[in-house]
Amino acid sequence: MEISSDFHDPKAVFSMVYFLYHFSYSDDYPPCIVHVYNIAKAFDISALEALAIQRFEEAAIDQWDTYGFAEAIEELYDTEPDQELGLRNAILRISASHLVALLQQRGSFYRVLKSSGQFGADMVEYLVKSRQPAVRTEFKIECGNCHRAYSSSDVAWEKCQCASPLWSIT
């Protein structure tokens, strides 16, 4: 097995080797965590993948509004295959929880969102899937001729006995 610095970030290689001996590593800058995650994927080290995701989530607590967070998104979407969702799910969840503030800043996150079509598509899909069900609104329906009142959930209003009902909704 050959590990080439042409294909892998040297700091990520160091973190991987360190992890193999100590089951930990120390980098908490989001783009570097993405490099560690990618090398863990490349060498099928699932424990390091899981640790990288955990580290990313911990780092994002304080760094979600930094250039580094946006750079990590860009790096991940440039290097990780479309079907792989490990770290992408964490990024989508963190981005969604701070989306209003991130969009209002119009900074590096906004730039990445505009430039990365796949990230934008994943973000929309995540938001739609995580959306709360719509609240059903009750209202009253009254026939303008006979003045019978019905609830919107009551289908009997469709069978009003008036020759030509005129409906009023309140």
101/59 same-domain check: yes
The tokens for 96 are 């969604």
30/56 same-domain check: yes
91 three-state secondary structure: helix
Tell me the C-alpha to C-alpha distance, in Å, between residue 84 and each of 95, 122, 145, 148, 165: 18, 12, 62, 58, 58
Q: Per the domain annotation, does 1 fall within a domain? A: no
- Per-residue pLDDT at 142: 73
- Helix, strand and coil percent figures for the chain, each rounded to 5: 60, 5, 35
Is residue 13 within a helix (H) or strand (E), and if so which, with residue range?
A: helix 10-22
Do the beta carbons of residue 42 and residue 23 sit within 8 Å? no
76/103 same-domain check: yes
Do the beta carbons of residue 102 and residue 94 sit within 8 Å? no
| Enclosing domain of residue 147 | 140-169
36/54 same-domain check: yes
- Per-residue pLDDT at 32: 93
- Per-residue pLDDT at 155: 60
Q: Per the domain annotation, does 4 fall within a domain? A: no
Domains in the chain: how many in total?
2
Length of the chain: 170
First to last CA, the chain: 73
- Per-residue pLDDT at 90: 93
Residue ranges for the chain with pLDDT beneath 70: 1-7, 80-84, 132-139, 152-160, 163-170
